[in-house]
Structure 1
Amino acid sequence: MTISWGRRLIASLVVAFVVAIVAHAAMIVAFYIGSLGTSTAPSGSLIVAVSNYFSLTSVFSFVLLFIAGVVGAFDRWWTALIAGVIAGVLAPVVGTLVTATSGANGSPFSGELIGAVFGTLLGLNLLYALAIAVLTPTFGRWLFRIVEGTRSRFETDRKVALVRIPATNLSEGLITHIEREPVDAELADKQWDAYVAALSEAGWQTVEVTSADTLADSVFVEDTAIVFGDVAVISLPGADERRAETPGTEAALRAQGLRIERIEAPGTLDGGDVLKVGSTVYVGRGGRTNAEGIRQLRALVAPLGYTVVAVPVTKALHLKTAVTALPDGTVIGYEPLVDNVTVFDRFLPVPEAHGTAVVVLSDDTVLMSSSAPQSVALVEDLGYRVVQVDISEFEKLEGCVTCLSIRIR
């Protein structure tokens, strides 16, 4: 992700402290409640004793989780889970071992002592280990992403994709950088159905924007709005013919409960020119998006914690025709279509023009066009699962897999 080390350090500190404190407090509550069923009434001394017992363990949990955050363990849920299990096991073991061997009455360090300490993972320390292991990849990762800036504080775990059925005059859609080819409308409808089905099968709720049967490019719904957490920015398309597409999208976004902002004339901005990578928003300055549109977007999203970076686009219709990003923040693109690859912190070239576009379905799964088999193989070799869809008829109109939906997460 395009995130400063300062933010990562702060996020690591905050998450390590909060998770360790919550686990520590949970132990006190658990032992206090457990004592209610005994003959000995719970007292303040019990709270102090439990707190003292887990104090060193919580310190070690804090240290281990801080290190995990710094090295990027919170970037994916499964690495956060591994970090949580490691911290949940090591912190109680080390904390109990140090407590047992310290002081004048401490036990001598021996294999027997080590065995006894590990045995506490099935006794006194079991609940603590489970608390850390569960909290880290769930609440801890959620909090980390908020503080670091890779997730809006308004973001939920919902996954909604807005889609729009192709217009009957789809073949009349605008093209700028390629030669016009005949479009098979019947095949396009089948491909659109398969695209929507792929999103649904991946766990996304698909919501149809009201059809616009006379607007040829309306199927490319992504161009009409950009979503930032609970805020939707309604675009002002650079092509006059497409401006009638935005009211339908706005109505669908309002129905999802999002707050609406908009780009106003003389600014123009197409959603296909906006690539979000963590808290960085790359915006293509090209034929459809102008400088004033970028300026307005910067003013709208800066209060939300995003940084807008303008990128020249002269070789493709939109920025996301040339580049998109993998779940880990690596920007991928077809170099002949990219004006300046040095703009991006991490850039990976793909071998085919249609292989530039990915829709992130989850932390380990992306959607790509089947017309770019070499690029698919490259992404799969990076450890991602790739869902392939055939969108050949939309590619004849400079469309790609990102253009056909607006993702709300």
Structure 2
Amino acid sequence: MLTGINEFGRLKRVAMRRPAEAFVGDAKIDAEWKDLNYHTRPEMAKAVAEHQHFADIIRSVGADILYLPPAKELTMDALYVRDAAAVCPKGVILANMGKKQRMGEPAIHGTFFAETQIPVIGAIQGEGRLEGGDLIWLDEKTVAIGRTYRTNDEGIRQFKALVGPDVHVEVAIMPHYKGQSDVFHLMSVISPLDKDLQLVYSPLMPIPFREWLLARGQKLVEVPDSEFASMGCNVLAIAPREVVMVKGNPETKARMEAAGCKVHVIDADAISVPGEGGPTCLTRPLERH
């Protein structure tokens, strides 16, 4: 069993993968970055320094970081560990990736979790597709899941069967936005800040999902239009109302601070900007207090 299944509690255990295990070095970066649709070529030394600083902030709240291993079949995208697995109170559910270059990641995660005595209760299989960035636990009985190009109906069906009938699964049918080749998860438009506070980008939120959040008493902090593309909405809560965001989003930072949040800002020109993977994408939270 895993405890503290939500997206806002104080981090207790979190999985990450170092750039040395994902990017490996200049030759791999040169071979892959264009094919993976990165905007720019990441600089290895800068990625190592940025990732270490991010990890230090996570450890500052008492979290234990479990570093996922390297493997020859991994691509640079393996840095974004959120997507290859999901969690539920019973344990880890291995994803089935919607991006073909990442199909090998979940099995590597599963082997690692089994070796570290973290329960793995199942995997999305066959035609089912599911990525971790499409899931947000509000509490141990309530999870939202995005129906996107990376998470399909069969993946959602299998996920529901694994978590069981005691869990309410709220499906948010996401818009087309930039199309099938782009990464657009549920967590692209919402990041929990506390049990009753969500950072959101409303223009791309499904109306029924936004109304559902409001009906549950959630307060919304709105990301301005000018800061959505710079990952203003990709914010990781490391404790209630204590969050990490990438630099370049001053208005979003100010709005979170006005809502009572402590905000850590990280340089992420190598680890986040090229592949559009912000702080939530770089982490697979396993347990929270």
TM-score by length of 2: 0.79
Distance 2:110 2:240 in 1: 28
Tell whether 2:19 aligns with 1:184. no
Partner of 1:269: 130
For 1:7-406, what aligned pairs fall within 5 Å after superposition? 151=4, 159-166=12-19, 167-168=23-24, 169-170=28-29, 171-172=33-34, 174-175=36-37, 180-212=39-71, 214-254=74-114, 255-278=116-139, 279-303=141-165, 305-313=166-174, 314-315=176-177, 317-340=184-207, 341-345=210-214, 346=218, 347-351=220-224, 352-353=227-228, 354-393=231-270, 394-406=272-284
- Structure 1's unaligned 5+ residue stretches are 1-149
Deviations 1:283-333 (A, max 9, x none): 111111111101111121134x32111112222621112212111232322
- The Cα of 1:163 is off from its aligned counterpart by 0.5
Task: Please tell me the residue identity of whatever aligns with 1:281.
Answer: V
Task: Please tell me whether the aligned partners of residues 371 and 392 of structure 1 are also in contact (alpha carbons under 8 angstroms).
Answer: no
Task: Please tell me whether the aligned partners of residues 124 and 159 of structure 2 are also in contact (alpha carbons under 8 angstroms).
Answer: yes
3-state SS of 1:251 partner: helix
- The Cα of 1:173 is off from its aligned counterpart by 6.4
Distance 2:58 2:69 in 1: 19
Task: Please tell me the residue identity of whatever aligns with 1:318.
Answer: H
- The Cα of 1:257 is off from its aligned counterpart by 2.8
3-state SS of 1:159 partner: strand
Change (3 A) 1:173 1:366: farther
Change (3 A) 1:250 1:350: same
- The Cα of 1:172 is off from its aligned counterpart by 4.4
Greater strand share, 1 or 2? 2
3-state SS of 1:392 partner: coil
3-state SS of 1:186 partner: helix
Task: Please tell me the residue identity of whatever aligns with 1:277.
Answer: L
Task: Please tell me whether the aligned partners of residues 333 and 355 of structure 1 are also in contact (alpha carbons under 8 angstroms).
Answer: no
- Structure 2's unaligned 5+ residue stretches are 178-182
Task: Please tell me whether the aligned partners of residues 245 and 263 of structure 2 are also in contact (alpha carbons under 8 angstroms).
Answer: yes
Distance 1:245 1:257 in 2: 17
3-state SS of 1:294 partner: helix
Cα RMSD (Å)? 2.4
Task: Please tell me whether the aligned partners of residues 212 and 218 of structure 1 are also in contact (alpha carbons under 8 angstroms).
Answer: no
Larger Rg: 1
Distance 2:147 2:160 in 1: 13
Distance 1:272 1:299 in 2: 19
Task: Please tell me whether the aligned partners of residues 284 and 311 of structure 1 are also in contact (alpha carbons under 8 angstroms).
Answer: yes
Structure with greater contact order relative to length (CA < 8 Å, sep ≥ 6): 2
**More displaced 10-residue stretch of structure 1: 162-171 or 214-223:** 162-171
- The Cα of 1:241 is off from its aligned counterpart by 1.1
**More displaced 10-residue stretch of structure 1: 379-388 or 329-338:** 329-338
Distance 2:112 2:156 in 1: 24
Task: Please tell me whether the aligned partners of residues 212 and 245 of structure 1 are also in contact (alpha carbons under 8 angstroms).
Answer: no
**More displaced 10-residue stretch of structure 1: 329-338 or 355-364:** 329-338
